[in-house]
Structure 1
Amino acid sequence: MEIVKTIAEKVAEPIVDYIVAPIGRQASYLIFYKDNFKNLKEQYTDLKRVKGTISHDVEVQRKNGRQIYDSVQNWLSRVDEIIEEAEQLSNDPQHRNVACCKGPFPNFKSRHQLSRKAKKMVGNVAEVMQQKDYIESLALLPDLEGVGSTFATSSEKLESRKKMKEDIMLALTDPHISRVGVYGLGGMGKSTLVKEVAKQVKNDKLFDKVVMANISHVADLERVQREIADFLGLRFEETTIIGRAARLRQSIKSERSILVILDDIWDILELDKLGLPLNDHKGCKLLLISRRLDVLQNMETQKDFLIDVLNEEETWCLFEDMVGDVVKDVNLRGVAIQVAQKCAGLIVLIVTIARALKNEDDIDCWKDALNQLKIVDEGGMSEKVYSVLEYSYNHLDGEDVKALFLLCGSIGPQIPVEYLLKYGMGLGIFKHINTIKDVRLELHRLIGSLKASCLLLESSSNMEVEMHDIVHEVAVSIASRDQHVFKIGMGGELKKWPSEEFLQRCTQIILHLCHIPKLPERLECPNIQLFYLYNKNESLSVPYSFFAVMKNLKALGLTCMHFPLLPQSFHSLIDLQTLCLDQCGLGDMTNIGALRNLQILSLCSSSMTTLPSELGQLIHLRMLDLTNSGIEIFPSNIISKLTKLEELYLGNTSIKWEQEDSDEENKNASLSELSHLTNLIALEIQIKGAWVLPRDIMFDKLERYKIVIGDVWEWSDNYGAPKMLKLKLSTIIHLEHGIKELIKGVEDLYLDEVHGISNVLYDLNGEGFPLLKHLHIQNNGKIQHIINSMNGRLSYVFFPKLETLILQDLNILETICDGSFMNHSFARLRSVKVKCCDQLKYIFSVPMVKALYQLTEIEVLECHSLKKIVFVENSMAIDENIEFGSLQSLTLGYLPAIDDFYSGLLESSTTTMQNLSLDNNVPSSFIDSKVKFFNLETLKLSSINLENIWQDDYVSVANSFHKLANLSVEGCNCLKYLFSSSIIGSFPNLKQLEIRECEIMEQIISIEGRNGAATCEVGLPKLETLVISNMKRLKKVWHSQFDGLKTTEVNNCEKLKNIFPYDMQGMFGSLETLKVSNCGSVEEIFQLTSNKIHIEEEATTQVSQLKKLHLLDLPKLKQIWSKDPQGIVHFHCLEDVLVKYCQNIEYLFPFSIAVKLPQLEKIMVSNCGMREIVANEVGAMEEKVIFHFDRLHSLVIWNMSKLDRFYNRNHSLTWPSLEELWVVNCEKLKL
């Protein structure tokens, strides 16, 4: 029988395969009809979202001039075809008929065919979705080649560096390691590698914050504290290092997880003095970079990584990649390999020599490079570095670029560009150049040349340049050898001056923030050309005869000095070209008149009230810089004598300019003297009142200017534009005083109370402001339109380069742009901010929105008549979709009249409003499906009378808000709920949610949406922070969709009885911080029991990550936990517990929690009614209990009149780390 059974089974198998399986497959099309269409809709919805993101990225890359791969374009075309087919199938009338058929005889044939197509289409969608990651990687091409990016990109190909990066990342994720060290010789690429690690850490979101600071040779703790504070958004009020350290430590501890990177550590750094937590913040990790392992070990690093030289294979790989295809020439390749080998695997040498020889096809140059390297082949590594960098220096093209390199070394390693200009001109580096304008162009070219040779680094600011410390050392060495430069850098000490022989040959002396006990009466340096002293000793003074034997001095810089009287020896400086007395206290300056050949005079940030009349004797002066000085009196008839001035900087000064026709005796100059400066091309000036402007003043020759007129503006430059005007003019007449000519070319324009203007574009600039980048208008009661083209006068592009538009307190402004406009108008606009414009009814028209494809920020506040953000003039276009493809931030607040975001209605009526609703009983959504936000990350809504923010439609919401990360809703008193359950899955990237003062809101997530959709099981997977405040009717905070929350704050919610209801057990496992305050009905925080009858299930113990628990002013709170959580949830991670003003609370901890708090550091209990800290254990035995609080360092018990015990049974307490103990007004307590 077994044989027969086996034969039967074998025979049956193919029958099943060939008959039953196909029948089952065909039947499945009928059975799973709805599932197939549901899957199709979900799949192609996701595909549309992905396609939108990639399309946007591609467009950005294309606008940046980058090539897009054909495979990307082909993929996008294929996706369009699939989406179109899927939508056609979903909208097929047969599908709707079949789907809605409720009769007993459904159309099986149609059902089968449609289901089969849907199933096949799902497969097509899945196929292109599988290619998504590959396509995304192609869509985002690497940056164009630059100094910094080339090496970083090339180094990614080096296996040793990739492995090192992975190992460092692994160490940073190790919970037992808090300090990681990276060390190695200078020039090994340590900083570059660590920056790549920081970038990866950010991308992987391993830490909430990543901060980086550079320590340098001498640790300037104040500067480092400021650098770290900038990353944290912290502003110090403290004035001492200790005070700032305390604030910094407090701020860092408030971060859940933070990585602090300290680069270029030369000696042991006192981390505690700096303000970094030592071992009392597990979320803080340090990544320390130094040349020396012993420094790291003394700073107690737990894992150290040596960044060593590259092996020969990687050396050649990097060298070949950077030097170009020239090494493929067989005649050169052999020599090139030898040159690479001589670089000894040191990255800085490889990069430097490769730059010098890039695309060099002359074999003799290669042989010369090899010979230079062979000279020191037997030498040490430092000699190799010096040799290679000197080789690069020797091959710089021109003596001017070499001189600039050595000047950078003398002043550096961080050098303000203005220093290079001022001192470079004084030293005559820029030969045969007649104007400062041309000097600036040449300086820019030379800096570019040095960067291209890797002798200068890219800087975060275009105001300064930087040198790698090794390059700086070599530059100083060459300057000392070839130019007899004497330099003592920051933190050093001038113990004795060089020998008399050296001083006779010395050409430069640089003393930068070093300790100088005293200057000699006279310094005999007959050949010196540059003397630079940045003082740190308040008592140091310059003797009157100090400069007597410096007749060849060309440039003199004295910073932070005090001069009651300028030295008499200034009379000896007959050939001085540049004098910088910055941040000095200046008294009698009459001796300055002796400097007859002076071309540049800088008195920036120096304290003085009056300029000497002798200044008028400096007739060769080409630049005068008094920025931020205390000058009030600028004597008349000085400016008019300085006819060679090309640049005049008087910004942020308080000069009291005289009126031109004043009858009073003129103590101060009048602005009419500026008309004598026919060579002036750069002017920065602050004028308190427009009345001092001469009627005939002309500024037509100015090429750079920052002019501030009026007392409402601060001297600040938010954008760094070279042409800035800030105007407060009492009448438009003042615009005729040369100002209107400047407006034609202005890039940054601020207008306050400029009367007589109703149409900004027409009244101020008939050419459309072709160069304007930033426009700020405020306090005007006459302007009706920024642009009015309704009369057809505008036939040109306007505001083609405008990036920022700010409008504030324009009382009768009706429209920003009234009428149509030419293409490319507003093409670069990125930010629009409108505030307190009470007659404005809408912000954008539809044509304007279509032009704003670069707009990233919208902020509209306190506009009481505003009805729409976008208005449709043509009612036929009301169904047209609009896209804000680049918008990242949208803030709308205090707009009482606004009814929706986008429509063609400016006047409300019952009939029209009903037509806009889904039905007569349901209000329309504020943002409907016609508005698309593909990249919106931040949405803030406050004090708006809206009843629904978005439609209850998953697809439309998901398309617009899938990148939303921050959502804040405040004072929206008509909102009953924030999300419907049908759309909650449309916000996959939401990280922070804040809800405040929404009076009628009873729930955050409605169980059913307006269309009765079933609850969506998809939650908010990335939501980490939830803040709820002043929600009077809210009955429930926690939802199953919030199970990833890390921080929750609840304040003043009167209806809440508990924070975590029973049915949410196990859903708060990620929570780390909980703050609950001023909730009058809360009786318990964690409800661990239920009054409902339910079937007991086998419990699994949850592990809570809760670290901080703060409960304040909860008058009805009885218990934090409704019962002892033993066996239900562990709270082993608790670190900080604060409970205040909870009069009905019975105890602080259940017994099972109190005995297992290994991480607890702080307890503060104040003004509560509890009798004991730890509740009795149910069924506890009488043996003694020991409570171990090994990490507790602060215990504060304050005003606890009922508290009489810690625990009601035999017990003892251990707290070996306790540092702070306060027990105040607790008469009954016995510890």
Structure 2
Amino acid sequence: MTSRSEDVCNGMDTQKNFKVGVLHEEEAWNLFKEMAGISDEGTSHPTNLQLTQMAVAKECVGLPIAIVTVGRALRCKNKYSWDSSLEQLRKAMVKNISGVDEKVFKSLELSYDYLESNEAKKCFLLCSLYPEDFDIPIEDLVRYVIGIELFDRIDSMFQARNRVYSLVDDLKKCHLLMGSEKEECIKIHDVVRDVAISIASREEHSFLVRCDEVLKERPKKDRLQKHTVISLKVNGMHWLPGNLEFPNLQLLRLDCNAGLRPISLYDFRQIIVFCNDLNKLSGNVKVQETPDSFYQGMKELKVLALSDMHSSLPTSFRCLTNLRTLSLFRCRLINDDMSVIGALENLEILSFAGSYIKELPKEIIGHLAHLKVLDLLGCEVETIYPGVLSSLSKLEELYVGSIFENLCKTNIKGAKAIIDELASLSNLVALDIVLIDIAFWQRGLVVEKVKKFKIVVGVSDFDYIPDPGKLSNLLNLQVQNVNDILETRLNLLLKSTEILYVNSRTKGLKILCDLVDEDGFECLTKLSLESLDDLKYLINIADGVPQSAFPVLEFLTLSFLDNFKGITSHECQLLNKAFSALKVLKIRFLSKLRNLWKGPTQLVWLGNLTSVEVLGCDKLESMFSLSIARDLVQLKDLQIHRCHVMEEIVSSEGGEHEIAAIATDKIEFPKLKELRLQLLPSFTAICKAMDAIELPQLSSLSLSNIPKLKRLCPTSDSESNYDPIIQPLFNDKVKLTTIEKLEIFQMENLMEIWPGKLQAKLKEMTVARCHELSSILFPSNSIKGMQNLEVLEVKNCQSIAVAFDLEGLVWEDGILDMALPSLKKVELSRLRKLTHVWKDNSPRIQGFQNLRSLVVNKCDSLRNLFSYSLAKLLVKLQNIEVTECGMMESIIGNEPNADDAVITNTIMLPQLSCLKLSDLLNLRSFCSEACTFEGSLLKTIKVINCPKMKILPSAFQRKLEQQKADISTSSQFHVLDGKVSKEMSKSSLSEECERKLIFVESARTSHARDFTLFFHFLNNPIYTFVGVGIHNDAEKLTKDYGLSVATTVDRRSLTAEYGMIELRNAGLKNLVREVLGKKI
């Protein structure tokens, strides 16, 4: 967290505050040169200009924001500009802005002054109208600047929008604005915003901005009258005074704060929730009437933006005859009276986004002869009267989204007639519309003038969420037959389509490119095809070679295409490299796909590919050829799941041209960070033909259910230094020193994980259901290279006898080093043969000093948890949990050949706060009677079903008395005079079963919306899924353990991990209803 005010940090009780200093002189000069485009030539004998440049850099006093903004502002400027800037910086005057340094202020002001146009300056100042850290929709700026008539000789919305985007880009280059995580939005740094507000408040601009908190005092009339732009947050319209004169006011923006969090105008997820709960909300919000004369003195007003207003429109609204932009966001008009809007004859932009309006009558909307934009996205509209749309002869942009869905259901004939009116809008160039059926789309609706569009056909309102801001040309089609696309002429839009979804059982569509002419999909950046039973190929080259194939395509998703065979219909050599812009590739459940590419692949270039996901392609043999793999220099994420015949990722076959393409015996994926391989029964290696695999940036590796995989990269017997039968998963030719997270599940033939010598950055490791692993999980030589390991989880590995082998843990120079110094959490479960967590023979062992939590469950051969000498190392151990270890006799056990002095030492676990011992049938003591135990922070003890345990350490009793620690017992269990009573009942399995058993008989996987999520859900090692003999199992659990089906799921942990919506999307809707007893 960073803040300009140390008081903010202190108020949040931060543990330690660090002051962020300025840059050193050399660092500052290097940054300044980069920003200003200054070369290093001639710096030994600097010219007058270079001396001035150095002086300007020094005036920025090492402040990064000053260096960046000034440097960018003066880039490519002449000497006169540099001299003038230096003079201005030296005359910097302290401005009364809390937390803003005077040099920072002057630097930002200088950058503002050097903006090349008044248009850019005005656009920048308009960004100050929003609350701090707000995601500012660029579309807001477009509609505001059109309203205030900022541009000369620009008449159309299309031209104005392009101009605004150009200005925003210039402001970002000057570092006065910055990007946002939300598409089509920008942000302004809080310091820059403070400076912008200061500049905007000057007399020549006369802005009034109070939008970070609700206005606490009524504004004074004499101060309001001079302003040209006002942005306020007020607690209801009634709070504002009436009878005011605003002779110069052009833009008024009011957040009426009707009990809702302020959100971006185009945050449509919030809008939809708002609309659905609008009636409930309005019942809780008191209606605040606007003073009837409020707008009477605003005759020059050109832009009015109201949000969260629950009020009627006053009669003085008719006085706004110069109004050009009206935005009512998330509002509700009391009495549904819109008649005053009809008087706004100069209105060009009208938005009801996210609001509730009962009807759109022709006699009101029809008077808006100059209207260019009508925005109804996220609206609830009960009635649209015939003739409304056709009367808007100058309309250029129409955003209606899914409002026709209810109309189409209740009045099919009337809805169809209204939609037909779109054909009469000769100036329409932008359209956003959702239709529930292709039958509502008439042939005449598509015209060549439509430049921007989002057209969704056959998709329900549940699946459709409007996107914010500038339209990307999108088609989302669910139609029954390919002829529906051709007959409605929707295919004419494909040439300019940027995003295309076709996701229904569309009959007759065998080759996608048959829908377009020879130029193909020139603008397509995102393509998703799903459940197209007849589709076989994307590209048809039987009639000739296409000039290019998807030249700008960045995202490709192919799902549930039962007859899909490959990208091209025949072997080919494309004239231009295919898919050269592709970044993300997802292929799911393509049951007949054997190879993505046919024939020679050296002309297929995937150099921009960053992410690949493959799921359920049972006949796919490999992913890439050698020549393609060579070019995967940007690949960061590779996930392959459930491909039954895949043997390798990179094919070692392909003819002489493939072998010649690789002149080395290694493969390198230089930027790969995550590799996940699951359920690959035939998989043996990444590439069988390569001797070495280099993954220099790999940070996460997950391997699950790959029975034939013994090592990632097979090495010839002549080169191997390992036993040919027992070989480690990693060897010296697989460069995996950067891995931070490792997951290994159900690897049936895996015997060894680590090579003899290892240097790793591993932080998290999980191993489960690997029954052939060697008896020692971490040999002493591998422990030396695990200095960063923090979390270790090992579950259900039947062969492991020792977790950490510390015997012989002596470094080559004879000095003992710290063993696993970063380890914080260890969880060992269902290790039936485990006899030692730590196996050591030297009291000199050092390490484990950061271990916080130790959990051991169902390790039947384990007699002790750790030794006395090990206990002394665990100075930060906070939690010990031991359950169902049948042979466990004591938590801290005697060491072989240890002398009495060691045994009688005091055991200190100074941070131990929680201890749970459960179902330990042979547990007799926590430690030896000769041992003195002290635990200074002990708060909670849980001892359940330990019938042979007689004595608790006295320290436990003292802490129980001092801190009133909670003893949890499922039966009558007491501590009296240091002894444990014999009133023990049978162990309750309810806690374990509530956590782990989930019945999935009713899960309808065929209707899963997200099969990847469903797949991961069923493979989650946390849960055990019961699907065979479900009713008998439930009856047995009920009879033997007092359980019922309704109590076999820990509802909180399950819903917290996945969430109700994700459970539904995973196809588990009925499971949620029956097991959790909750509808979604």
User: Same fold judged by TM-score > 0.5?
Assistant: yes
Please list, as runs of the form range in 1=range in 2, the aligned pairs for 1:814-1213 lying within 5 A after superposition: 814-819=565-570, 820-824=572-576, 825-854=578-607, 856=609, 857-867=611-621, 869=623, 883-886=630-633, 888=635, 889-898=637-646, 934-935=669-670, 937=672, 938-946=674-682, 948-949=684-685, 956-958=690-692, 966-975=700-709, 977-980=711-714, 1007-1008=723-724, 1020-1042=736-758, 1044=760, 1045-1056=762-773, 1058-1060=775-777, 1064=781, 1066-1067=783-784, 1069-1070=786-787, 1071-1087=789-805, 1100=816, 1103-1105=819-821, 1106-1122=823-839, 1126-1128=843-845, 1130-1169=847-886, 1170-1176=888-894, 1178-1181=898-901, 1185-1213=905-933
| 1:635/1:669 contact within 8 Å kept | no
| 1:884/1:932 contact within 8 Å kept | no
1:620 lines up with 2:374 in the alignment: no
Deviation at 1:530?
1.8
Q: Which runs of 5+ in 2 are unaligned?
A: 260-284, 954-1080
Deviation at 1:435?
0.6
SS in structure 2 of the partner of residue 306 of structure 1: coil
1:677 lines up with 2:394 in the alignment: no
1:469 lines up with 2:207 in the alignment: no
Structure 1 residues 387 and 675: CA distance shift in structure 2, 3 A: same
Q: Structure 1 counterpart of 2:691, which letter?
A: V
Deviation at 1:817?
0.4
**Distance across 2 between alignment mates of 1:718 and 1:500:** 37
The superposition leaves residues 721-778 of structure 1 with CA deviations (integer Å, 9 ceiling, x where unpaired) of 7211111112223223231110122121111233222222124444322222222222
SS in structure 1 of the partner of residue 163 of structure 2: helix
**Distance across 2 between alignment mates of 1:867 and 1:829:** 22
Structure 1 residues 483 and 864: CA distance shift in structure 2, 3 A: same
In structure 2, the residue matched to 1:418 is 139
1:595 lines up with 2:377 in the alignment: no
The superposition leaves residues 1087-1114 of structure 1 with CA deviations (integer Å, 9 ceiling, x where unpaired) of 5679xxxxx9989576332322111233
**Distance across 1 between alignment mates of 2:197 and 2:757:** 62
**Distance across 2 between alignment mates of 1:338 and 1:855:** 43
Structure 1 residues 959 and 973: CA distance shift in structure 2, 3 A: closer
Structure 1 residues 983 and 530: CA distance shift in structure 2, 3 A: farther
Match 1:729 to one of 479, 482, 485: 479
Please list, as runs of the form range in 1=range in 2, the aligned pairs for 1:302-451 lying within 5 A after superposition: 304-307=19-22, 318=32, 322=36, 348=65, 352=69, 355-361=72-78, 363=80, 369=85, 372=88, 389-390=108-109, 392-411=111-130, 414=134, 415-451=136-172
1:510 lines up with 2:208 in the alignment: no
The superposition leaves residues 977-1012 of structure 1 with CA deviations (integer Å, 9 ceiling, x where unpaired) of 5544559999xxxxxxxxxxxxxxxxxx96238999
Q: Structure 2 counterpart of 1:638, which letter?
A: V
**Distance across 1 between alignment mates of 2:32 and 2:196:** 25
**Distance across 2 between alignment mates of 1:1089 and 1:320:** 56
| 2:22/2:62 contact within 8 Å kept | no
Structure 1 residues 1037 and 547: CA distance shift in structure 2, 3 A: same
Please list, as runs of the form range in 1=range in 2, the aligned pairs for 1:180-579 lying within 5 A after superposition: 262-266=1-5, 268-269=7-8, 299-301=14-16, 304-307=19-22, 318=32, 322=36, 348=65, 352=69, 355-361=72-78, 363=80, 369=85, 372=88, 389-390=108-109, 392-411=111-130, 414=134, 415-451=136-172, 453-457=174-178, 463-482=184-203, 485=206, 487-512=208-233, 519-520=239-240, 522=242, 524-527=244-247, 528-538=249-259, 539=285, 541-545=288-292, 546-563=294-311, 565-579=312-326
Match 2:437 to one of 677, 680, 689: 689
**Distance across 2 between alignment mates of 1:1132 and 1:649:** 62
Pair member with larger Rg: 1
Q: Percentage identity across aligned positions?
A: 27
State the TM-score, normalizing by the size of structure 1.
Answer: 0.64
The superposition leaves residues 1013-1060 of structure 1 with CA deviations (integer Å, 9 ceiling, x where unpaired) of x99699854444433322345454554255634433222233457333
Structure 1 residues 799 and 333: CA distance shift in structure 2, 3 A: closer
Structure 1 residues 1056 and 487: CA distance shift in structure 2, 3 A: same
Deviation at 1:570?
2.5
Q: Structure 2 counterpart of 1:767, which letter?
A: D
Deviation at 1:1160?
0.9
**Distance across 2 between alignment mates of 1:941 and 1:664:** 50
Q: Structure 1 counterpart of 2:825, which letter?
A: K
SS in structure 1 of the partner of residue 379 of structure 2: coil
Please list, as runs of the form range in 1=range in 2, the aligned pairs for 1:24-103 lying within 5 A after superposition: none
Match 1:605 to one of 324, 336, 354: 354
Structure 1 residues 633 and 1151: CA distance shift in structure 2, 3 A: farther
Structure 1 residues 821 and 719: CA distance shift in structure 2, 3 A: farther
In structure 2, the residue matched to 1:246 is none
The more displaced of 391-400 and 1102-1111 is 391-400
SS in structure 2 of the partner of residue 762 of structure 1: helix
**Distance across 1 between alignment mates of 2:124 and 2:29:** 27
Match 2:387 to one of 626, 637, 641: 637
SS in structure 2 of the partner of residue 1165 of structure 1: strand
**Distance across 1 between alignment mates of 2:83 and 2:763:** 63
**Distance across 2 between alignment mates of 1:1074 and 1:526:** 68
Please list, as runs of the form range in 1=range in 2, the aligned pairs for 1:170-181 lying within 5 A after superposition: none
Structure 1 residues 1062 and 336: CA distance shift in structure 2, 3 A: closer
Match 1:789 to one of 530, 541, 551: 541
Deviation at 1:351?
5.2
Structure 1 residues 655 and 1101: CA distance shift in structure 2, 3 A: closer
Q: Structure 1 counterpart of 2:854, which letter?
A: V
SS in structure 2 of the partner of residue 847 of structure 1: coil
Structure 1 residues 549 and 1223: CA distance shift in structure 2, 3 A: farther
Structure 1 residues 827 and 1203: CA distance shift in structure 2, 3 A: closer
Q: Structure 1 counterpart of 2:692, which letter?
A: A
The superposition leaves residues 792-840 of structure 1 with CA deviations (integer Å, 9 ceiling, x where unpaired) of 3345333222233322222222332023253114333334332222233
SS in structure 1 of the partner of residue 594 of structure 2: coil
| 2:588/2:614 contact within 8 Å kept | yes
| 1:710/1:727 contact within 8 Å kept | yes
Structure 1 residues 406 and 518: CA distance shift in structure 2, 3 A: same
SS in structure 2 of the partner of residue 777 of structure 1: strand
1:743 lines up with 2:494 in the alignment: yes
In structure 2, the residue matched to 1:284 is none
**Distance across 2 between alignment mates of 1:1016 and 1:343:** 51
The superposition leaves residues 84-110 of structure 1 with CA deviations (integer Å, 9 ceiling, x where unpaired) of xxxxxxxxxxxxxxxxxxxxxxxxxxx
| 1:483/1:507 contact within 8 Å kept | no
The superposition leaves residues 458-508 of structure 1 with CA deviations (integer Å, 9 ceiling, x where unpaired) of 556662333343432232223222257464545434222333211222222
| 1:1031/1:1053 contact within 8 Å kept | yes
**Distance across 2 between alignment mates of 1:371 and 1:1133:** 57
SS in structure 2 of the partner of residue 1153 of structure 1: helix
Deviation at 1:685?
1.4
1:801 lines up with 2:552 in the alignment: yes
1:650 lines up with 2:371 in the alignment: no
**Distance across 2 between alignment mates of 1:1123 and 1:692:** 78
| Equivalent residue pairs, number | 889
RMSD between aligned residues: 4.6
| 1:936/1:961 contact within 8 Å kept | yes
**Distance across 1 between alignment mates of 2:884 and 2:31:** 70
In structure 2, the residue matched to 1:29 is none
SS in structure 2 of the partner of residue 472 of structure 1: helix
In structure 2, the residue matched to 1:124 is none
